[in-house]
Chain A
Amino acid sequence: DQQVKQNSPSLSVQEGRISILNCDYTNSMFDYFLWYKKYPAEGPTFLISISSIKDKNEDGRFTVFLNKSAKHLSLHIVPSQPGDSAVYFCAASALNAGGTSYGKLTFGQGTILTVHP
């Protein structure tokens, strides 16, 4: 049962253009969402997050949009740079569930982003 899905295994974008990475979730208890970036043979690094009380969060070139009714979030990278080429993971958590669920993140399968010069 895949509660967080990234249906696009890969995405190829030209340098300077917008990259849009998508993520869908099924668990309505999820109330906090994060994006991580991962290079090969390294651990993921935190990129940006959004709480379910918001529908948008921006940090420099990165913007995350959340559509709660559609259970969908997306990460926009503008403008895309070759150094953005990596695997991007969407993750979700039921932050307010508390108890032993606190801190437990459920990850999507990842999307490989390639930005061409």
Chain B
Amino acid sequence: DGGITQSPKYLFRKEGQNVTLSCEQNLNHDAMYWYRQDPGQGLRLIYYSQIVNDFQKGDIAEGYSVSREKKESFPLTVTSAQKNPTAFYLCASMRRAVYGYTFGSGTRLTVV
């Protein structure tokens, strides 16, 4: 069964801590994306990667970091520099020439 797996589903972070959200896909997709969802603001792009070892900032990259060491994996680190990290985070992937994203089921991050 091919798909995207995000873990954990729920994550609690203390102020000042870094946390890493996992995103793994077995769809053999080239491109991967991280979005953040806040109420009333839709989905906003954080980072994206079109090939291994390469990634670009999206619209709201400040306070986040990513890596793309393997085609299957695109972890997102929410650093202490992110001032308002509480949100629902969505990972997506896409295969070139078959346009449209496949999304994971999301991670809800809450700062306590």
Contact = CB atoms under 8 A, between A and B. Distances in A.
A41 B108 contact: yes
* Count class of interface residues, chain B: 20 to 34
A43 B90 contact: yes
B42 A108 contact: yes
A104 B48 contact: yes
Contacts of A63: none
A13 to B, nearest CB: 21
A109 B40 contact: yes
Interface in B28-48: 31, 33, 35, 40-45, 48
Contacts of A9: 40
A44 B43 CA distance: 10
Interface of A: 4, 6, 9, 32, 34, 36, 41-46, 49, 89, 91, 93, 95, 100, 102-110
